[in-house]
């Protein structure tokens, strides 16, 4: 059973609720030719309690639009980890700072960018959790999970931006 994505009604709409804002662009012409194509820009306050409501709403939208199949949790898991890292480690839970999320849904992949307003970090200083000496390490687990469930994870702008991509999710 297919569901109609709310963005099918308009090419662009803005959504603001529960402390986050979302702008969605939807290319109806491309959908008819190749499948769903959606671009989202969102921001949320740096509060850990904002993660679940935000991810739940975004994943519902992505599933309703046909971008992520029901029962596939990789994108959701990686998004939760990236947001937790941005809010806790990047913005240090400073409510004056925001986390910015960009999500693109194409017929053959979903890509997500999470950007915090922190100082960044050196990705090379994150321990390799598969090395025997780091098995008990408490640092770097979120990054390890993101890399395990997504096809591509890369950090830019000194570690303040993480790009993640999952291919063939549709």
| Span 37-85, pLDDT tens digits | 788 898 999 999 999 999 998 898 888 877 888 778 999 999 999 999 9
Pick among 3.40.50.970, 3.40.50.2300, 1.10.287.70, 3.30.565.10: CATH of 6-167: 3.30.565.10
Tokens representing 57? 């709403």
What pLDDT sits at residue 5? 46
Helix (H) or strand (E) segment spanning residue 51: helix 51-64
Q: Are 135 and 31 in contact (CB under 8 A)?
A: no
Mean pLDDT score across all residues of the chain: 82
pTM here is 0.82
Domain ranges of the chain: 6-167
Nearest to 112 by CA among 68, 144, 69: 68
Task: Pick the most confident of 10-24, 26-40, 89-103.
Answer: 89-103
How far apart CA 111 and CA 113 sit, in angstroms, is: 7
Cα dihedral: 150, 43, 115, 75 (round 10): 0
Q: Are 144 and 153 in contact (CB under 8 A)?
A: no
Would you say residue 129 has pLDDT above 50? yes
Tokens representing 88? 């806790």
Degrees, nearest 5: CA angle 156-132-143: 25
How far apart CA 40 and CA 35 sit, in angstroms, is: 16
Give the mean pLDDT of 22-50: 72
């Amino acid at each position: 059973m297919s569901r109609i994505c709310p963005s099918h009604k308009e090419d662009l709409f803005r959504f603001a609720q529960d402390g986050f804002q979302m702008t969605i662009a939807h290319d109806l012409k491309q959908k008819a030719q190749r499948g769903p194509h959606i671009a989202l820009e969102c921001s949320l306050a740096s509060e850990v309690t904002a993660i679940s409501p935000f991810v739940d709403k975004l994943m519902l939208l992505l599933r309703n639009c046909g971008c992520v199949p029901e029962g596939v949790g990789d994108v959701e898991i990686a998004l939760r980890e990236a947001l937790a890292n941005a809010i806790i480690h990047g913005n240090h839970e400073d409510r004056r700072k925001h986390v910015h999320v960009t999500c693109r849904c194409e017929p053959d992949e979903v890509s997500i960018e999470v950007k915090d307003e922190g100082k960044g970090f050196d990705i090379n200083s994150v321990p390799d959790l598969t090395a025997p000496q780091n098995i008990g390490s408490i640092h770097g687990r979120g990054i390890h999970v993101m890399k395990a469930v997504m096809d591509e994870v890369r950090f830019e702008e000194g570690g303040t931006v993480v790009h993640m991509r999952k291919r063939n999710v549709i």
